């Protein structure tokens, strides 16, 4: 899968894309992420990418011309163009799955007060938000999208089973608690059931603790239909 990212802060993406799971995916060729500096496509000597908002108000707005030039300079087969925005369609796992099935995505990441609306209207592009909280720009949001999508690309994560169990694969249930060694840590013991090899009992414990945790941390989720036991 290929992902192009257009940003005025390419250095904000470099470290995360080199590290850990993403670094391995990029290094192995399963994922081809290319980060482009928006200032490459400015035509004035000051390399300006922003200007004052029409109608007044604080701050600056990203101009449409460099963004159109950047996107149009990429492969004409650029795939879906996604603009990170606090006013976008909210990302959830179903949307991540949809994006992961695409061969090519282009992410536009801005700063300041936002991006000229004609980018969304004219490219055309889709606006996407990673959640209902406010960031100072789109770069971290772009990284979140890339990470969430990359781990669904076949081969990026070792085993198919490791996403089957994830929270949100099972849409209305959070994950059960996990434990590793030591058996006792600062007076807190690992639940006895996990130490024995009774897999049916372990599954039942996991289902029940997952349901309890979902009720506590995410009362907005309803949990899966209750199976009689
Ligand atoms: C914030 C953002 C997302 C996402 C893109 C651009 C400028 C700063 C800003 C903040 C509040 C109002 C502009 C961005 C995000 C999120 C994405 C930009 N800003 N207007 N904030 N929070 N969840 N995705 Cl361009």
Identify the active-site residue in 32, 52, 72, 166. Answer: 166
Window from 24-33, 108-117, 165-174 with minimum mean pLDDT: 165-174
Residue nearest to atom 4 of ligand 1 (CA): 129
Window from 17-21, 49-53, 114-118, 221-225 with minimum mean pLDDT: 221-225
pLDDT at 198 > cutoff 90: yes
Which comes out higher in pLDDT, residue 154 or 222? 154
CA 221/CA 228 separation, integer angstroms: 20
pLDDT confidence of residue 159: 46
CA–centroid distance, 160 to ligand 1, in Å, is: 33
Global pTM reads 0.94
pLDDT at 186 > cutoff 50: yes
Question: In the chain, pLDDT over 70 holds for what percent of residues?
Answer: 92
Answer whether the bond into residue 166 is a cis peptide, omega within 30°: no
* Helical pair 20-27 and 11-18, crossing angle rounded to 10 deg: 90
CA–centroid distance, 6 to ligand 1, in Å, is: 15
The residue whose two tokens read 């169990």 is 165
**DSSP strand pairing (188-189 vs 184-185):** antiparallel
Is 113 designated active site? Answer: yes
Does an H or E element contain 122, and which?
Answer: helix 118-122
Is 151 designated active site? Answer: yes
* Angle, vertex CA 65, rays to CA 122 and CA 95, nearest 5: 45
Does an H or E element contain 85, and which?
Answer: strand 80-90
pLDDT confidence of residue 111: 95
Question: In the chain, pLDDT over 90 holds for what percent of residues?
Answer: 81
The model's pLDDT over 38-63, given as tens digits with 9 standing for 90+, comes to 999 999 999 999 999 999 999 999 99
Q: Is residue 113 within 6 Å of ligand 1 at its C-beta?
A: yes
Is 207 designated active site? Answer: no
DSSP string, 129-151: ES-SS--SSSHHHHHHHHHHHHT
The residue whose two tokens read 């781990």 is 151
Helices and strands counted in the chain (H then E): 8, 9
Is 166 designated active site? Answer: yes
pLDDT confidence of residue 224: 73
Other CB atoms closer than 10 Å to residue 175's CB: what's the count? 16
Q: Is residue 6 within 6 Å of ligand 1 at its C-beta?
A: no
pLDDT at 176 > cutoff 90: yes
């Amino acid at each position: 899968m290929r992902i192009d990212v257009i940003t005025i802060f390419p250095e904000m993406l470099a470290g995360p894309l080199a590290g850990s799971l993403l670094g391995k995916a990029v290094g192995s060729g399963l994922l081809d992420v290319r980060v482009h500096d928006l200032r490459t496509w400015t035509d004035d000597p000051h390399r300006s990418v922003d200007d004052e908002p029409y109608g007044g108000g604080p701050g600056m707005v990203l101009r449409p011309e460099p963004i159109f030039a950047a996107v149009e300079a990429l492969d004409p087969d650029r795939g879906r163009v996604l603009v990170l925005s606090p006013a976008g369609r909210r990302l959830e796992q179903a949307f991540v799955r949809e994006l992961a099935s695409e061969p090519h995505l282009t992410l536009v990441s801005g700063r300041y007060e936002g991006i000229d609306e004609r980018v969304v209207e004219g490219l055309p592009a889709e606006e996407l938000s990673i959640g209902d909280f406010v960031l100072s720009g789109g770069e971290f949001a772009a990284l979140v999208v890339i990470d969430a999508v990359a781990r669904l690309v076949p081969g990026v994560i070792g085993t198919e089973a490791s996403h089957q169990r994830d929270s949100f694969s099972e849409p209305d249930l959070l994950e059960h608690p996990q434990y590793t060694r030591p058996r006792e840590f600062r007076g807190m013991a690992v639940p006895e059931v996990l130490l024995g090899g009774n897999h049916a009992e372990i599954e039942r414990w996991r289902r029940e603790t997952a349901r309890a945790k979902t009720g506590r941390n995410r009362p907005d989720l309803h949990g899966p239909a209750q199976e009689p036991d």
